[in-house]
Structure 1
């Protein structure tokens, strides 16, 4: 009669031994399933890098285009000068500097302070919201372009042809431009030849994505600028 318990124990051992290998693949599959999301998360992190947010500021007598790459870096372009800056400690707002005496300090969403080595500080105000609007309003024609930024307005608030080029660093006025079938031409007060021409075909701004009524080309002396334009009420 004592043989039965021994046989039962042996049988139970064989059953448990047979079941054990079946559990091992299950545990392995569970581990694989838990590891699967890791590559997805990495891809999501990699996709977080963007081209940055750009804002145009009027800083005293200069126009500055600031490109913010998150909170750690910014690139400030002023005419032909470009400053690559990194975040610096500030009591408020966000301050960026290049370690060479140049800095750009934002104060709220619209104001900033531009400090260039050897020059007086300049208070800045964001103008992207107003000048970025391509509407010509009551002007006869309004055209704008990028890199470098330029703006030309025919018979706007001031009669004649008003031209700002190189982010506002150079400005010209043609008091009485000659109007032709495809644009306006004349001389600025300093004798510089100015010509603003258009082609009536759909034009899309490469930076804002806004659609305009016409392609535009501005010639200031021998320098040419390309962009888009709209016709207004005049």
Structure 2
């Protein structure tokens, strides 16, 4: 009887075990699979830099993407260039006979297919820190960037407007009580006037000796100016 009783007890235990519910799943947030990682933003090229040049009679804007490529914009023409071997400096070309060669920080050489080479000078180097130096008067302004220099030589009045996109030279400007005026080679009327009162550059905060207004055709540009060694 003891054997039968033991067997019955064992059988009952097995039946009860089979009737027990399965182990419940882990609570949410316990051992759940981790969420997929957030997509990373596309990387951007932080090495790109832009410089405005005056290359002979052409205003040039060059955007350098590191040392591997450059985009050169001249008016409505855009040249996508890649790095080429050069003895010095950095040279870029488009494989179509057009190239731009920088020499140091300020100088360059522009070669366009079928045209004579043009020596280039960076506008940033020309603008300097605002001082007029040996010139009679130097004025500059922002939004859009412009620069005008009266140096007393030929051309007597040199003007760059719209971030260097347009360039005008007045060989022998007329001198007035408050500025200079004349016509550029293409017939555009140019006038640069000043008012001897303190002026502060609205971007850099740099103080200047005079307020300045440049008129190119019918458009006016406002800014500040300094007098140089050849003061009027």
Could you say which TM-score interval applies, normalised by the shorter chain? 0.5 to 0.7
Counterpart selection for 1:76 from 61, 73, 77: 73
> CA separation in 2, counterparts of 1:119 and 1:228?
36
User: Structure 1: which 5+ residue stretches go unaligned?
Assistant: none
Residues 113 and 121, structure 1, Cα contact 8 Å, conserved in 2:
yes
1:31 equivalent to 2:34? Answer: yes
| Match of residue 217 from structure 1 | 213
Residue deviations 1:80-136 (CA, integer Å, cap 9, x gap): x23322233522535243x76433244564444312121023343434234243233
Residues 92 and 99, structure 2, Cα contact 8 Å, conserved in 1:
yes
Offset, 1:66:
1.7
- CA, structure 1 residues 11+128, in 2 after alignment: closer, same or farther (shift >3 Å)? farther
Counterpart selection for 1:230 from 218, 225, 230: 225
TM-score of the aligned structures, taking structure 1 as reference length? 0.61
Offset, 1:177:
0.9
Report the aligned-residue RMSD.
4.5
Offset, 1:196:
1.1
| Match of residue 80 from structure 2 | 86
From the CA coordinates, give the structure whose radius of gyration is larger. 2
Counterpart selection for 2:149 from 150, 153, 158: 153
Offset, 1:22:
0.3
User: Residue 64 of structure 2 aligns to a residue in which SS?
Assistant: strand
User: Structure 2: which 5+ residue stretches go unaligned?
Assistant: 1-5
- CA, structure 1 residues 22+148, in 2 after alignment: closer, same or farther (shift >3 Å)? closer
Aligned length: 210
User: Residue 125 of structure 2 aligns to a residue in which SS?
Assistant: helix
Residue deviations 1:23-50 (CA, integer Å, cap 9, x gap): 675344x522x52x42xx22xx36x378
Offset, 1:56:
2.4
- CA, structure 1 residues 73+185, in 2 after alignment: closer, same or farther (shift >3 Å)? closer
Q: How does 1:13-162 map to 2 (within 5 A)?
A: 17-19=22-24, 21-22=25-26, 25-28=29-32, 30-32=33-35, 34-35=36-37, 37-38=38-39, 41-42=40-41, 45=42, 48=44, 53-60=49-56, 62-68=58-64, 71-77=68-74, 81-88=75-82, 90-92=84-86, 93=90, 95-97=92-94, 101-106=97-102, 109-137=105-133, 139=135, 141-145=137-141, 150-154=146-150, 156=151, 162=157
- CA, structure 1 residues 100+211, in 2 after alignment: closer, same or farther (shift >3 Å)? farther
* More divergent stretch after superposition (186-195 vs 163-172): 186-195
| Structure with the largest fraction of helix | 1
